Amino acid sequence: SIAHAADRALVIEEELDHALQNDEFELYYQPEVSADGKRLLGVEALIRWQHSKRGLLGPDEFIPIAEGLHLIQPIGQWVLDNALAQVPGWRQIGWKDARVSVNLSSNQFRAPGFTDAVLRSLARLGLTGDCLELEVTERMLMGDDAAMLASLSALRQAGITLAIDDFGTGFSSLSRLRTLPIEKLKIDQSFILELPNSLSSVAIVNSILELAQGLSLTAVAEGVETKEQRQCLESLGCRAMQGFLFAHPMPAAAF
Ligand code: G
Ligand code: MN
């Protein structure tokens, strides 16, 4: 019920405050792979909250609340620092072009000083931008905010890959895709879920793949769960995939 949901949000709000100090967050890692599943192309860091009473919570259950509380900046910084901290180890064991992808939330991305904070995090670990991908949503790219555009180009300049997450569900103006320094589209899993039987989903995925190709962007299919989906995507020319068929998100050690 709505009342129950509101109660729950209130409790989570109080507990979130302590979660960072108590070290209750953990990053899970989900690989992005080539269409045949044989090559590791990247990895996405996904935050989880190991809650003492409620078990493992996904980002949807607490990130929106954290945004409202201005806790999103310290949490976002924690995610970035912890994800990047994995990279040297991965490189050391032979994944030479290791790259980790981090999801940004709206208030985090818009906060003054965000770009500098990212560059400082890289520098602290002696890393360059090529080991980092930042995922934003279409909604976060709306508007002509000069500061946002400057931030995007500074990140791009530093060699960081910029990806649009959940692509196809927002309100992208196609002409802006050309002008923004975006390199990658992550096709929303709601379309992948309906492959191969839904003709409309096939049409949408096909259009996104063609759009990506025409604009020289990379396209990744998210939420690939079945062989049929994989096969359909491959036949449409999709080269990069992520989803339960290949691997679930997992703790760093398992990854
Ligand atoms: O918004 P974003 O695309 O970053 O969210 C990714 C979420 O999708 C993660 O919480 C992850 O656990 C989940 N996920 C990853 N792969 C699959 C999949 O194959 N199927 C489903 N249903 N969810 C997935
Ligand atoms: Mn994502």
Q: How many CA atoms lie within 13 A of 89 on its CB side?
A: 9
Q: How many CA atoms lie within 13 A of 19 on its CB side?
A: 27
Closest-CA residue to 219 (of 172, 175, 253, 186): 186
- State which of 46, 165, 167 you would mutate to test the pocket of ligand 1, scoring each by most atoms of that ligand within 8 A of its C-beta: 46
**Between residues 105 and 7, the one the model is more confident about:** 105
User: Does the beta carbon of 244 sit less than 6 angstroms from any atom of ligand 1?
Assistant: yes
Q: What CA–CA distance (Å, rounded) separates 119 from 98?
A: 18
Question: What pTM was computed for the model?
Answer: 0.94
Q: What CA–CA distance (Å, rounded) separates 8 from 61?
A: 10
The pLDDT value recorded for residue 216 is 96
SS3 (DSSP) at 134: strand
Q: What CA–CA distance (Å, rounded) separates 166 from 204?
A: 13
According to DSSP, residue 153 is labeled: H
User: Does the beta carbon of 129 sit less than 6 angstroms from any atom of ligand 1?
Assistant: no
The alpha carbon of 103 and the centre of ligand 2 are apart by a number of angstroms equal to: 5
The pLDDT value recorded for residue 35 is 95
User: Does the beta carbon of 189 sit less than 6 angstroms from any atom of ligand 1?
Assistant: yes
pLDDT digits (tens, 9 = 90+) for 197-254: 999 999 999 999 999 999 999 999 999 999 999 999 999 999 999 999 999 999 999 9
The alpha carbon of 231 and the centre of ligand 2 are apart by a number of angstroms equal to: 22
Q: What CA–CA distance (Å, rounded) separates 237 from 35?
A: 9
In contact, 127 and 91? CB cutoff 8 Å:
no
SS3 sequence of 54-122? CEEECHHHCHHHHHHCCCHHHHHHHHHHHHHHHHHHHHHCCCCCCCEEEECCHHHHHCCCHHHHHHHHH
- 243 Rama class: left (phi>0) / alpha (psi -120 to 50) / beta: left
pLDDT digits (tens, 9 = 90+) for 109-147: 989 899 999 999 999 999 999 999 999 999 999 877 888
pLDDT digits (tens, 9 = 90+) for 2-12: 777 777 777 77
The pLDDT value recorded for residue 143 is 79
What are the residue ranges of helices labelled H in the chain? Answer: 2-19, 63-68, 72-92, 106-110, 114-124, 146-157, 174-179, 189-193, 199-214, 227-235
Closest-CA residue to 224 (of 237, 238, 214, 208): 238
